[in-house]
């Protein structure tokens, strides 16, 4: 049986951020203002998750927080382009389905871009600078091209461009074109303005309070369709490790 603490689970799903520990939460309690403490209680109430659901179901596409995708300082896909792809999909689709379809379209556009770039002079000329080892590694299992020089050239150029654009492929695959943290900030501004300042301040220092973790992840997963592990058949929760969660 795989075992994971709440802290480990949050660390895995919120990489790049320092999640507040239970000890840190306890230590800071006496220093917080009444406004921040009230906001904390509201975020931890069961109804807060229903507010997340309602927000996701009704948020206009124009309020979604997409990111530009860069490669070597050049914008490959602008956030405006990504928003247009999303908006052109049927509005009756669930947000997660629209997001997934947008993602597929980005992959398709990236393939077209790679195909176009592979016919540019720089890509064709780059083939001439390949070492023998690189040449044969890229051409592996392509024996049918042995007598087709132009076919080899085009294939190798395509592989080189594909390798160059791999970071963009990874960015799309990992949903880096969507800013879940900015989206959660927008959500707080809509439903809990008095809880926004502390969240934004923590985020500026790449930190996240415990009370923001679950609703943020829930919002992100509802919008993107991520976060589902269908391989889990049974889940056992030992609440003793988290007994101070609401203290």
- What are the tokens at 159? 């592989």
Q: Please check whether residue 186 is in contact with residue 220, taking contact to mean a CB–CB distance below 8 angstroms.
A: no
More confident residue, 69 or 28: 69
pTM to 2 decimal places: 0.86
For the stretch 127-185, pLDDT in tens is 888 887 787 777 765 654 566 667 778 888 999 999 999 999 999 999 999 999 999 99
Write 171-174 long-range contacts (CB < 8 A, 24+). 171/69, 172/69, 172/103, 172/106, 172/107, 172/110
Per-residue pLDDT, 145: 56
Please tell me the predicted confidence (pLDDT) of residue 240: 58
Give me the pLDDT at residue 229, please: 67
Contacts of 75 (CB under 8 A, 6+ apart): 68, 69
Tens digit of pLDDT for each residue in 77-130? 999 999 999 999 999 999 999 999 999 999 999 999 999 999 999 988 888 888
Domain locations in the chain as residue ranges: 6-63+179-242, 69-173
Average pLDDT estimate for 60-88? 97
- Render 183-194 in DSSP notation, one character per residue: HHHHHHHHH-GG
């Amino acid at each position: 049986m795989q075992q994971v603490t709440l802290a480990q689970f949050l660390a895995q799903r919120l990489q790049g951020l320092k999640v507040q520990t239970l000890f840190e939460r306890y230590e800071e309690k006496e220093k917080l203002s009444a406004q921040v403490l009230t906001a904390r209680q509201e975020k931890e109430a069961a109804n807060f998750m229903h507010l997340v659901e309602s927000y996701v179901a009704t948020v206009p596409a124009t309020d979604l927080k997409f990111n530009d995708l860069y490669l070597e300082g050049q914008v490959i896909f602008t956030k405006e382009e990504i928003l247009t792809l999303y908006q052109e999909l049927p509005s009756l689709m669930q947000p997660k389905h629209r997001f997934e379809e947008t993602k597929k379209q980005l992959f398709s556009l990236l393939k077209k871009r790679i195909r176009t770039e592979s016919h540019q002079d720089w890509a064709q000329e780059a083939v001439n600078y390949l070492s023998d080892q690189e040449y044969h590694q890229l051409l592996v299992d392509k024996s049918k091209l042995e007598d087709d020089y132009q076919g080899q050239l085009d294939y190798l150029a395509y592989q080189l461009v594909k390798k160059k654009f791999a970071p963009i492929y990874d960015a799309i695959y990992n949903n880096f074109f969507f800013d879940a943290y900015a989206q959660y900030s927008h959500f707080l501004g809509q439903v809990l303005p008095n809880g926004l300042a502390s969240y934004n301040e923590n985020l500026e220092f790449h930190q996240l309070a415990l009370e923001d973790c679950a609703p943020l992840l829930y919002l992100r997963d509802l919008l993107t369709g991520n976060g589902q592990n269908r391989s889990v058949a049974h889940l056992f929760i030992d609440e003793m490790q988290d007994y101070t969660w609401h203290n």
